[in-house]
Amino acid sequence: MVGLGAWSLVGAALIILLLPRSLEQCGHILLSAPIVRLGDQVTASCIINWNCSHLGTDWRVVWKLEPELHPRERRQHLPNGTLQSTITLPHLNHSRVLLSCCLHWGNSLQILDQAELQAGYPPTAPYNLSCIMNLTTNSLICQWEPGPNTHLSTSFTLKSFKSQDKCQTQKDSIPDCVPEVGQSHCSIPRKHLQLYQNMSIWVQARNALGTSASPKLCLAPMDVVKLEPPTLWALEPSPAVAPPQPGCLRLRWETWRPSLYIEQKCELRHQPRLGEAGWDLVSALPARTSQYELCGLLPSTAYTLQMRCTRWRLPGHWSEWSPSLELTTAQRAPIVRLDTWWRQRQLDPQTVTVQLFWKPIALEEDSGQIQGYLVSWRPSDQAGAEPTLCDTTELNCTFQLPSEAREVVLKAYNTAGTSHPTPVVFLESRGPPLGRLHTTARDPHSLWVGWEPPSPQPQGYVIEWGLSPPSPNGSPMTWRMEHNGSIAGTLLQENIRPFQLYEITVTPLYQDTKGPSQHIYAYSQEMAPSHGPELHLRHIGKTWAQLEWVPEAPELGKSPLTHYTIFWTNTQDQSFSTVLNASTHSFVLRGLEPSSLYHVQLMAASQVWAANSTSLTLMTLTLEESELHILLGLFGLLVLLICLCGAAQFCCRPSRKYSLWPSVPDPARSSLGSWVPTITAEDILQLPSLRDPSMPPITKITVLEEEEKKPGPWESNASSGPGSLSTLVQAYVLQGDPRVPSAQPQPQPGNSDQVLYVQVLGSPTGPGPGHYLRCDSTQPLLEGLSPSPKSYENLWFQTSSPGTPEPLVPHPEDDSIFEPLLDFPLLQGLRVSGAEGLGGF
């Protein structure tokens, strides 16, 4: 069993090894065209031979156009027993792709045959064909543009032939020139050329889809010759030849030796070596010459020069530009104006020390380079050369002169010469001074200085400025001359630094004299305070702390303080602050907590900056035990007061008040007509009608003062005679017409407490009821005696029978008439003793 299994494995392996070899001869691919235009249709057929029948029936043909499979194919059995599978690709969009015919058998895919498909475009005609006769290589070099990419292998060939006429007929052929792959130029050797004979030249492009050719070029090789550039040299100076003028250059050149027999013309271009100026071209240089003088340049300037040449009077190409040559133009004497200023100091009676300053002002764009300055002085009694006082490259010079010297001469010089001499006359100060001088700092690097022009108007001004005090390095003051005498100020921007004190001097200049100098000091920018004032604790309490500080002394160049800001913070990081005036030097912190720690800081601020002082830490005092007791007592009193106020408010409410005691209105503050108690049936007295016209009207009721002490109002007096009243209250009634004004009763001796409470007005004849007028008196009616008795306690009102009222009889000895008034409120609640005297009342 083991041997049989081994032989079966060997047989399977042999079948696998033999299967691919047998399938290679099973089929092949036929293409309609291996190379087509990009996007065209391609048809391919796969022919499967009859000897592949041992595969059985479980197989099929699959086409693969990498990397995709194309299962849609057409099968056809040919008469010779072969099987043909055909596939059509409608659009071939790949420039190069591999097409495979595969056999799908079982679970495997076997390639039967492969074919490469190519797609592209036919070549376009080359263009821009040009040729140059190079005498160095002695060959005709032609170049062209190949055109767009065809995606196919394209070959180019340079074709030409000789012709005696204008390239209309071909005389002798010239071998084709094939360039290397990827190149678009080719050279025809000199042996195949006739230099002065016309020849026709063109380029042919060819690939699998077609052929194209460029337009033909008809030329003679010498008509397209390109010379080599010349070599430039500087022309050496010669004693026999004058040196070049300022702004001029002299140069020469040598042509290429193989072109010595060719007549040429050249061009020269130049540009400054420094700067961004472009090239300037000098064309049409003289023929048959090899040197040239170039003028019109800037003096003392380095230039770069280049030259190129071509055939003259005959066609040809320009050569390349020659290697650069650098030359420098000659200098010219300085053309400048020198502005001068000076300072004099008397050294002794015969000698003065002069410090002279100057500034060169160029009068032309190419005014010449200055190499130095000369200061000379010639005494008036001497002739000949002027002795030199200074020869310097600086813009100032210090020298000594005799006291009588009034003028020196200043010149600028270089290798080309000197400038025009500038006389310096030491003027005396005899002119009018300037008006008010003032200055303003525009920014940290400039100062504006202004003045009031004097009269007459000066010819100019000299402005000087420098640090005050002068810097240790001894740098001179900066100065400037203004030649416009009508101006009233100028802006100084040179050598101005921020936070520095400058001394500015302005001097007016007149004809043959000058005015006195005016000085002013100014800061370009004020600085902030260097540090804030030191903070001190003066006094401290339990809830307050008094702080003080000493302000810093004013400093020059420091901006003045505008305000202070105090910041304090407690241990809970709660911050507080307040802003104080700059004149304040102390402050009290209030509202602090007892026995608490605080951090305090003072900030001094100006218009420019702000500076902080040193920090101060303080702790408030602790409350004493007695103070705690006082605070607790005050708190208890406050709580008690609140409770009392609440109780008073509760008791004084109308709803609560009437429920606790009866309401007794104040007659002096209320209307009598509105205060009428309720009258029950038992309280109604049967009295004669008060509307009886026979009864006299009652005009007044007066309550007299209390007599001496009598028995109580509730005690009955049975022995009292008829007509007598209670000892507590007596009343009398006056008769009269209420329409007649009556005089007020005068107080009688012993009756000074008599008070008028009410006046009753009524017409003796009118039918209507009377009217009561309230009195303005604030005295009580019953003067605080016992309260009035209730209706059931007034026994006097019940002595008579209700059905038989008795008429009221007046006392014959009294002028008063006692009449019961049932509608009078004050009398309804009164108990009157001595009912016997009232009769039927």
Tell me the pLDDT tens digit for each residue of 85-96: 888 888 888 889
- Among candidate residues 260, 257, 251, the one with its CA nearest the CA of residue 288: 260
- Among candidate residues 397, 395, 399, 423, the one with its CA nearest the CA of residue 347: 399
The 3-state DSSP class for residue 18 equals helix
Position 684 scores a pLDDT of: 45
Please name the amino acid found at residue 725.
Answer: L
Position 165 scores a pLDDT of: 79
Position 369 scores a pLDDT of: 81
Q: What is the per-residue burial (b if ≥16 Cβ within 10 Å, else e) of 785-803?
A: eeebeebeebebbeebeee
Percent of the chain with pLDDT over 70: 70
Q: How far is CA 477 from CA 151, 428, 460, 469, in A?
A: 80, 21, 19, 11
The two structure tokens encoding residue 36: 């087509």
Please tell me whether the peptide bond between 533 and the residue prior to it is cis, using omega within 30 degrees of 0: no
Position 287 scores a pLDDT of: 63
Q: How far is CA 432 from CA 378, 451, 488, 506, 514, in A?
A: 32, 13, 15, 13, 8
As a whole number of angstroms, the distance between CA 198 and CA 222 comes to 10
The two structure tokens encoding residue 380: 């008036």
What are the residues whose beta carbons fall under 8 Å from the beta carbon of 476, sequence distance 6 or more? 357, 396, 466
- Among candidate residues 594, 536, 602, 547, the one with its CA nearest the CA of residue 570: 594
Cβ count near 133 (within 10 Å): 24
Q: Could you tell me if 208 and 118 are in contact, meaning their C-beta atoms sit under 8 angstroms apart?
A: yes
Q: What is the pTM of this model?
A: 0.47
Position 322 scores a pLDDT of: 93
As a whole number of angstroms, the distance between CA 643 and CA 84 comes to 123
Unique residue bearing structure tokens 């000098």: 282
As a whole number of angstroms, the distance between CA 317 and CA 258 comes to 16
Position 587 scores a pLDDT of: 93
Percent of the chain with pLDDT over 90: 27
As a whole number of angstroms, the distance between CA 470 and CA 57 comes to 116
- Among candidate residues 107, 105, 113, 126, the one with its CA nearest the CA of residue 84: 113
Give 150-187 pLDDT, tens digit per residue.
999 999 999 999 988 788 888 888 999 999 988 999 99
Q: DSSP letter at 708?
A: S
Position 372 scores a pLDDT of: 94
Residues of the chain with pLDDT under 70: 1-25, 51-58, 71-72, 287, 380-385, 471-476, 527-530, 554-559, 607-608, 624-628, 653-841
The two structure tokens encoding residue 638: 């406050």
What are the residues whose beta carbons fall under 8 Å from the beta carbon of 167, sequence distance 6 or more? 198, 199, 200, 216, 218
